[in-house]
Amino acid sequence: MNALGIIFTDSFDTNMEEYVERRTLASLPYGGRYRLVDFPLSNMANAGVKNIGIITRMNYQSLAQHLKSGADWDLSRKFNGITLLPPYSTQWAQAEFYENRLEGLIANIPYLRFAEEKYVIIAGCHQIWNEDLDDFVKKHIESGAKLSVMYADKVLNHQEEIDATYIKVDEEGAVTGQRVEKTKPRGYSYSLNTYCIERELLISLIEKAQRDGKKSFRRDVIRTLIEQGQVVGYEAKGIVLAIENPTSYLESSLALLESDVREALFGNENNPIITPARDSAPTKYGEEAVVANSFIADGVVIEGEVRNSVIFRGATIEKGAVVENSVVMQDTVVSENARINYCVLDKDVLIEKGRWLSGYITHPFYVKRNSRI
Amino acid sequence: MNKKHCIAMLLAGGQGSRLMPLTNYVAKPAVPFGSRYRIIDFPLSNCINSGIDTVGVLTQYQPLELNDYLGTGDPWDMNLRFGGLHILPPYQAAKGSDWFKGTANAIYQNIRFIKRYDPDYVLILSGDHIYKMNYEIMLEEHIANKADCTIAVIDVPLEEASRFGIMNTDKTGRILEFEEKPKNPKSTQASMGVYIFSTDKLISYLEADEKNPASSNDFGKDIIPKMLEDGQRMFAYLFKGYWRDVGTLDSFWSANMDAISMPEDEPEKLILNDKGWRIYFRHGYNHPQYIGETGIQRNSLIGDACIVEGDVEHSVLFSNVRIEEGASVKDSIIMDNCVIKKGAVVEYAIVDSGCEIGEDAKVGGPKDEGKLTVIAKDNKIRKNGKVKQGDIVYHEEEDQ
């Protein structure tokens, strides 16, 4: 594998509301024990990428704590491994948040220059998939194109009111058009905003964009390449899930209750999604536990009822409590006789005895980290 | 700092013949326990939680899986530049090669390992027990007593005392007499197989013992009695807490069940969900478990990546186990990667990893009506098959 990886941790997070108030999108918990960053990172690490730069904009403390040295992905190496790339101040300029992917890349040109890999894979955290990135790079090299874009015909739980990137791919696999729209135009596919490109070429393109005062990687750099006929598409083979706003977060979480989604994300033995261990105890079902159609992590204690829900590590569902259609994050406690329906309870929440909370699938009721209700 | 205050030597070479067939391919300390652990996770986690970061693990019997499991010691935070976890297998030397003859001989052969860390104290452990213990407190007592050797003991019921090595002590805890499995026990203080020695005393007794051709080179049979005879300062340290020897299939089964729940009136419970005293383990890349629409799951521990659509009651499931719709598992231990097919019934049994119990097959029987049923690794019980209660189904290739 002769490619380095770049992961954007914040792009496309503008509609996630309070979920990302105190964390990057990349460190948003998902699927009982993961953070969104685990997906692109594991896809890259399993493909043999040894050098991964993670571009962060703000609030990257929780991300840094999650990644640590990268040892969990076998990326704590003598050379390369994981590099966190936060904004920085220089002698001449105060650090500013990156407004977009282009600025993030420009700020990290030194990192790109220092690398020795011939290619770069660029990915984000707002879509979840499990794909063979080794094949992605191989096909890119074979194609002779300047840029490859990963795409999918279907992205589950995309929200119609939110902009997405679409590309038109012809029968030969060439990308002939790109649009950013709310609904999918006819004949277009979803772009997964995941790219493969030669490193030297990427540097020269972003330097030129900077000189020309351009503002967007997607609209300026990529569109120009498409117009030149230099872009090919690579179709994702598995299921792709969107994490765009609270509704799609809940929908994409509850999608894990479908066996084909679990199989697509976690069924590939050669590409396991990796996350740091927490050394929790095994999950315990009490004398009166009633559990149906739920995805449950380790370290959980269930004494009450759980239906159609995703339960994270270390959560406790006490006697008489009923949790339905909800996501209960790490170490949160739902006390005796409380009822939770269509809720997303963030980490370390305490729902006191007998409280009833309910949202709806289109409007999940969200409870902030460390709250007590 | 080229010195450690205290290091541990963990005797992990035991064959565990009474745990057959679970120990046919793995050493006893590597036998899985409690849905996600191995027995050796308990002493290793106790060490790191007690501030002891240097452990020599003495292996001998079937070490492959144990070595893989231990790796560089990273799950227990023991991958260090100075110290950490070291696997110490028997080796060849200029004068010839030897298997470890007894527990004392195993330590004797690794005196050079001990000397490298120049510890003041050496903790000797075995990989046979399930317990959570702070060795630091025991070490403090050892130091306060100016002891040469301190032996951890646990209070056992009088009627069971004749199964253990029993310490008779004076009021200060000083050991007056040690009796191995006495017919008429004078006390109920049973040795836990946990010893702290002051290093110089340990080395001099090991060297003397090695020179004695009549010795069986064993701590319990030779070293401890000899030290007592010589009037060395030997103390018992009374441990209070859950402690079980899991050396037999029955005791192994019970301790696993203790991990689920124990009666309210039981004074010492096994609590795994203890953030102040975590038991660390090497984890796989498994995703969370999925519980289906059907089936009742109660009073059980269920591991990662399990898919459960049948009934599970009072059982311990390890990771990646599939219980199909209409299947039922009760009072049982099901290890990694097993499949219990539709309509199959497993009751009061241990099913080792990689087994498939065919549709409508029946394994074992009610707990109060007979003995434990055991199925060894990678066995396939055919559709409608029956495994009689109390049977032990060995692996096909085993020559039992």
- CATH number of the domain encompassing residue A225: 3.90.550.10
Cβ separation A296–B291 shorter than 8 A? yes
Q: Are A85 and B88 in contact (CB under 8 A)?
A: no
Chain B residues whose CB is inside 8 A of the A280 CB are 273
The answer to whether residues A185 and A247 belong to one domain is yes
Q: What is the DSSP string of A294-305?
A: EEE-TT-EESSE
Cβ separation B287–A33 shorter than 8 A? yes
Mean pLDDT value across residues B378-389: 96
Angle in degrees, 0-180, between the axes of helices A38-46 and A133-143, rounded to the nearest 10:
70
Chain B residues whose CB is inside 8 A of the A259 CB are 290
Q: Are B40 and B46 in contact (CB under 8 A)?
A: no
Chain A residues whose CB is inside 8 A of the B316 CB are 282
pLDDT for the residue numbered B400? 44
Cβ separation B289–A283 shorter than 8 A? yes
What distance in Å separates the CA atoms of residue B18 and residue B38, rounded to the nearest whole number? 17
The answer to whether residues A175 and A297 belong to one domain is no
Start-end of H helices in chain B: 41-49, 63-70, 103-108, 111-117, 135-144, 199-211, 224-229, 249-260
The answer to whether residues A32 and A112 belong to one domain is yes
Of B36, B302, B305, the CB nearest to A285: B302
Phi, psi angles (nearest 5°) of residue B49: -70, -20
Residue B345 has pLDDT above 70, yes or no: yes
pLDDT tens figures, B346-381: 999 999 999 999 999 999 999 999 999 999 999 999
**In B, residues 162-201, which contact A (CB 8 Å cutoff)?**
none
The answer to whether residues A295 and A256 belong to one domain is no
CA gyration radius for chain B?
22
Structure token pair of residue A100: 């977009």
CA gyration radius for chain A?
21
Is B81 in CB contact (< 8 Å) with chain A? no
Which of A266, A295, A326 is the last residue in one of the domains?
A266
Residue B399 has pLDDT above 60, yes or no: no
Chain B residues whose CB is inside 8 A of the A32 CB are 287-288
- Listed in sequence order, the residues at least 6 apart from B259 whose beta carbon sits closer than 8 Å to its beta carbon are A282, B33, B34, B35, B270, B272, B301, B316
Chain B closest CA to A287's CA: distance in Å? Answer: 5
Region of poorest pLDDT, from A103-107, B44-48, B153-157: A103-107
Residue B96 has pLDDT above 70, yes or no: no
The answer to whether residues A37 and A173 belong to one domain is yes
How many Cβ pairs within 8 Å bridge chains A and B? 96
Q: Does the residue A279 lie in any domain? A: no
Chain-centre distance for alpha carbon B381: 29
pLDDT for the residue numbered B324? 98
Chain B residues whose CB is inside 8 A of the A262 CB are 287, 290
Cβ separation B288–A32 shorter than 8 A? yes
- Centre a 10 Å sphere on the Cβ of residue A113 and count the other Cβ atoms it contains: 10
The answer to whether residues A230 and A321 belong to one domain is no
Is B333 in CB contact (< 8 Å) with chain A? no
Q: Does the residue A126 lie in any domain? A: yes
- Report the CATH number at residue A320: 2.160.10.10
Is B40 in CB contact (< 8 Å) with chain A? no
Q: Does the residue A372 lie in any domain? A: no
Is B296 in CB contact (< 8 Å) with chain A? yes
Chain B residues whose CB is inside 8 A of the A266 CB are 287, 305
pLDDT for the residue numbered A296? 98
Q: Does the residue A276 lie in any domain? A: no
Q: Are A5 and A136 in contact (CB under 8 A)?
A: no
Structural domain for A262, as ranges: 3-266
Which of A240, A266, A292 is the last residue in one of the domains?
A266
Indicate the number of domains in chain A: 2
pLDDT for the residue numbered A97? 58
pLDDT for the residue numbered A365? 97
The answer to whether residues A256 and A294 belong to one domain is no
- Listed in sequence order, the residues at least 6 apart from B301 whose beta carbon sits closer than 8 Å to its beta carbon are A282, A283, A284, A285, B34, B35, B259, B260, B315, B316, B317
Cβ separation A284–B300 shorter than 8 A? yes
The answer to whether residues A307 and A196 belong to one domain is no
Chain B residues whose CB is inside 8 A of the A287 CB are 261, 298-299
What distance in Å separates the CA atoms of residue B371 and residue B366, rounded to the nearest whole number? 9
Q: Does the residue A256 lie in any domain? A: yes
Q: Does the residue A274 lie in any domain? A: no
Mean pLDDT value across residues B48-58: 96
Q: Does the residue A277 lie in any domain? A: no
Chain A residues whose CB is inside 8 A of the B299 CB are 285-287, 289
Judged on CB neighbours under 10 Å (0-12, 13-18, 19+), A144 is exposed
Residue B95 has pLDDT above 80, yes or no: no
pLDDT tens figures, B13-42: 877 889 999 999 899 999 999 999 999 999
Q: What is the mean pLDDT of chain B?
A: 93
| Residue to substitute from B77, B264, B277, B285, interface A, most A β-carbons within 10 A | B285
Q: Does the residue A272 lie in any domain? A: no
The answer to whether residues A103 and A57 belong to one domain is yes
pTM score, whole prediction: 0.93
What distance in Å separates the CA atoms of residue B338 and residue A293, rounded to the nearest whole number? 21
| Residue to substitute from A283, A288, A293, A296, interface B, most B β-carbons within 10 A | A283
Is B335 in CB contact (< 8 Å) with chain A? no
Chain A residues bordering chain B (beta-carbon distance below 8 Å): 31-33, 71, 257, 259, 262, 265-266, 272-274, 277, 279-299, 301, 306, 310-311
The answer to whether residues A289 and A246 belong to one domain is no
Cβ separation A282–B34 shorter than 8 A? yes
The answer to whether residues A121 and A80 belong to one domain is yes
Mean pLDDT value across residues B279-293: 95
Of A285, A295, A301, the CB nearest to B273: A301
What distance in Å separates the CA atoms of residue B26 and residue B68, rounded to the nearest whole number? 11
Chain B residues whose CB is inside 8 A of the A257 CB are 290
Residue in B closest to A297 by C-alpha: B288
Which of A266, A292, A325 is the last residue in one of the domains?
A266
Cβ separation A299–B273 shorter than 8 A? yes
The answer to whether residues A232 and A300 belong to one domain is no
Of A282, A289, A311, the CB nearest to B297: A289
Q: Which residues of chain A have pLDDT under 70?
A: 11, 88-99
Mean pLDDT value across residues B43-61: 95
Cβ separation A285–B281 shorter than 8 A? no
